[in-house]
Structure 1
Amino acid sequence: MSNRANFLEPTKQALAKRAGNSCSFPGCDAITEGPSSESDSSVSKTGMACHIYAAANGPSARRVNLQLSDAQLSEISNGIWMCYSHGKLIDTDEATYTVEQLKTWKVISELRARLWQQLGKRIELPPESFKCIPLPETKIGFESLGQENILIGEAISRACVSQVWGKPESQAIRDTLIELTRNAFGHGKASCLSIQIKPKSIVLTDDGTKYDPIKIFTENHQGGGFHSIDELVNNHAGSVYFSFHNDGNKNNYIFSIVSSPNDIKELTPCHIEIPREYYWEEGVKFEVAEFCDTVYVIFPDFFALSDALKLPVLIEEHLPKGKDYVFVGVDLSQRAIEIIESRVENIKILNYRD
């Protein structure tokens, strides 16, 4: 007699239908049911219902929850629909494919199926469709180079960064993580490095010598590190938040997706919010922590053209010196942006939609 908490047939059918009869593995989307050539009425099924928490507490089981009964383990909430190939993969490698990851895959696949049904067709959905879904928490560590490409690439894929944050953004972040890892060991003489994927951010930490990646733009050599930072900062600045700080012992690099000034305020203390009532008041000096090399200056709502004309005064008289500033607004007019750019050299502006 089996000790496995197997799914009942109605549960399997419901899992398949809720996933749109498609594999839930990130990037797969394989259709798992269709006509068979055996007869006019035969159906070919290539999907399987997999357990999120292991169906049995065996020697090789890793996704174990001893608090769940057999009945709970066989409920639909503990199942995910996969194609045979990926189903066998996650069942035989429970250490790599975690509970948090599988739960995220399931949420994405069922939301995708719902949107496909509403649209009446299968299409690649934009990341806005999944923006409320947190990334599954994951951590990988390194003590040397050699496997960084595959380990970082697979971690980003398993965490569904491409689906939730966007494919171009995911690729830019992946490339930068690889280059920062190589730099930490190759030039920074790091002895250990970790990459932690959190619900709303990705953090790389290493114990190498201090390295501010933005300063790479002042170097003559344009290697992989230069091109990865250039892509991230200059082509994705409006959607990807990227910051660096050294806490005295370690380098910390933070990546996240931002869609509003509020996201920036939640992510970093290195920001200055300009209240409307204090915007032009004489004698006001805004302060920011000394460790903040890059500071985000958040404009008040409905930033007007006359405000744009006076921005050089704000920079010269009210902001701390020696910082790299990024100015953030909501629904800035094109004319306001043109005025600012004509009066402040090399200014960085993020303009979010209302």
Structure 2
Amino acid sequence: MPISPMDLRLSVAPMMDWTDPACRYLLRLISRHTRLYTEMVPAQALWHNDPARFLSGDPSERPVALQLGGADVEQLAYGTRLGTRWGYDEINLNVGCPSERVRSGRFGACLMREPALVGDLVRAMREETDRPVTVKCRIGVDHDDDYSQLCHFTESVLAAGVSALIVHARKAWLNGLSPKQNREIPPLRYDRVAALKADFPELPLVLNGGIRDLETCGEWLQTLDGVMVGREAYHNPWLLAFADRRIFADTKAAIPDRVEVARHYRDYVVRQHRPGVPISRFTRHLSGLFQGLPGARVWRRALSEGAARPGAGPGVIDDALAQWRAVMARRAEAPEAAAATAAR
């Protein structure tokens, strides 16, 4: 199924241990149009376990894509059927994760060495859904990083009917670098992604890697079909606050208010939190909400210390808001003294 050009313009990358349902709910409070992705869900896990454990979320998260990992045709077909049944707007195949755990299961970035297999996987997934099937990959793996190899890989997924290709503009080192180092050490090669678009103009292409602001997103949208932002959107979620207007040209979109976002998220936490579940599973996503504003450090500390207290619940968010408001009130009364307090 083709994917709408508007759906591709801006998205938040799938990030293990980060883009869980609570994170996606928070980000959706900030931007209505930015496409969100789940954490990578191993197709094998869906095959052997209750799918609700991996696929549950809030309907308000949409548009949201399910990212699957695997190399088994039958398991990925099954995962695609489940993802469709659970209402996901896109099914994405992970061909970019370099972690050892993923590699041992013969999926992730190591699959870039098997373009024919990836093509078979995409075909099997397409047969099970009426939703777009996309692939997220790197520009290469280890020393297999010639541009010709990337083109061969692209030809394989294009022939299989992939709806879009999301390219992290770094190659992956499968030996010698940790997943964190793989996000930082291999140099970004944006030129490779731009060249790929020039050589495959019919293929919707999304750039991932190192993008930190909407201005840069807008510049790349003059050449490519979309931009995917990763950790910057997590650490500084307010990056998305103006995306609906600037990136999606929704001139009627309201600019959100941070305090109201925190309050709405608090209401969500009240509904979702269960006894015995650490409240930090929810509050950790809020840490960057006031990034760049006075009192941001007070906010982060209040969340961290409050969540660490035995029996802490959603009230931690109320307490953090009260402490942040106190900083702002002091600044209004005595700007110089308040600035010194906020800096401590």
How high is the TM-score relative to the length of structure 1?
Answer: 0.28
Q: Which structure is higher in helix share?
A: 2
How high is the TM-score relative to the length of structure 2?
Answer: 0.29
Q: Which structure is higher in strand share?
A: 1
Q: Higher relative contact order at CA 8 Å, sep ≥6: structure 1 or structure 2?
A: 2
